[in-house]
Amino acid sequence: MRYVSPIDIAGAICLLAYGILSSITRATGDPSLELFIGLSIGVAIITFIIFAYYQRHPEEKISVTRLIFWSILFRICGLIGSPFFEDDFYRYLWDAFQFIQVGTPYGVPPESFFNDMGVPEQFQRILDGINYPELPTIYGPVTQIVFLGGYIISPGSVTALQGVMIFIDLLTIFLLLRLAPVHAVLLYAWSPLVIKEIAFTAHPDGVAVFLVIVAVVLSQRHRIHLAAICLALAVSAKILALLVVPFILVRARLQVWCSFTGALALIYLPFVLQGSTDLETLLVFTREWEFNAAIFGLFKPWMPNELARVICGLILAVAVFSYYIIYRRKADHSIVRGDWVYGGLFALWPVVNSWYLLWLLPFAVIRPSAWAWTASVAVLLSYVTGLNLNNFEMHPFAHPDWLRPVEYGIILIAMLYDIVKHRDKK
């Protein structure tokens, strides 16, 4: 009888790594880039080894209790620690304050309050940390309600918000256990990207992703009206959820689509009546922002910014529509390859922040691939910026010349591996 299982040994090592990050961020702020990336790669390799071990030894089962136990401990490290390499949480805290004060977080940019003596001192400090203060908030209504939940627990506390995001993330893990084997769910539950972006940094993409996975589970159980409402909530949390709506509702009747659009309209209606929503800043984001782009980054030096965006948008539209036609013809009710859909989006999109990978990873649990999980680690290189390097000769969000070729080159190698492996199985 084995008294110590491989998962416990691996869990203890990973806990040490997350504990080091937690201790450093709480005591001194941001860890060094070398330490963060090194620990993330180490944890990822251990996680991949454990996944491979249990995949090759199906007679040995991972205990769900052990999986959840270690997953919770890793997230507690993030809860105890502090956000690092990020300041987006200031916006979340400010949005909740504005929501409470005036009934909407939309319409007025934070900079309008810089000289407002009516703002409490705690929120003046939060206000000073907000990036792009000249723009109103970009976060959707459902995400704003989650921010509000953190505020109700403890106003202006990033720890309270981390706790809310961690709770939602754990619910995502429980849902994934209904869709995939335990050893595959481990890839998500122990992912250094997930721990960093949700537990440490409280990025809210996990809220919309959770709602999409709820919709997937409901659709698999043929509760399509409830799935449609969950999808409306997901889109209201972050507009990226729109990409998978046609696939999940692929055979839905008109009444179901009415449920989706009606729920979406009801969610936005109170904010529309007050004069503004998140769409205003979303349009600015779509037109102007660029960070860590892959294919768009190759196009941009050779053509105007607007043309490059249009071409990438058209390529994405054709690719997603082509996949939709193929998917619709299938007789079964297989789950959409969300890893393909969002992988294609991020390959073409002008902005690829590391937390955006949260969108494809749950689907990569359902159908694990080398490229998706390699990407979950490689994208962490995007934190190697002028700002985090303390290089004042670089733009704060610029990358060294070597970074994107290395980042996307590693992902391409993993994709080639998947292609070769798939051919060998035929």
Q: In degrees rounded to 5, what are phi and psi of residue 319?
A: -65, -45
> pLDDT at position 412, please?
96
State both tokens at 246: 């046609």
Residues forming beta bridges with residue 291, ordered by sequence position: 351
In three-state form (DSSP H/G/I as H, E/B as E, the rest C), the secondary structure along the chain is CCCCCHHHHHHHHHHHHHHHHHHHHHHCCCCCHHHHHHHHHHHHHHHHHHHHHHHHCCCCCCCHHHHHHHHHHHHHHHHHCCCCCCCCHHHHHHHHHHHHHHCCCCCCCHHHHCCCCCCCHHHHHHHHCCCCCCCCCCCCHHHHHHHHHHHHHCCCCHHHHHHHHHHHHHHHHHHHCCCCCHHHHHHHHCCHHHHHHHHHCCCCHHHHHHHHHHHHHHHHCCCHHHHHHHHHHHHHHCHHHHHHHHHHCCCCCHHHHHHHHHHHHHHHHHHHHCCCCCHHHHHHHHHHCCECCCHHHHHHHHCCHHHHHHHHHHHHHHHHHHHHHHHHHCCCCCCCCHHHHHHHHHHHCCECCHHHHHHCHHHHHHCCCHHHHHHHHHHHHHHCCCCCCCCCCCCCCCCCCCHHHHHHHHHHHHHHHHHHHHHHHC
> pLDDT at position 426, please?
60
> pLDDT at position 300, please?
86
42, burial (CB in 10 Å: exposed 0-12, middle 13-18, buried 19+): middle
State both tokens at 334: 């297989």
For the chain, list residues with pLDDT below 50: 1
> pLDDT at position 227, please?
95
Q: How many of the other CB atoms lie within 10 Å of CB of 38?
A: 13
CB-based contact 143:165 (threshold 8 Å): no
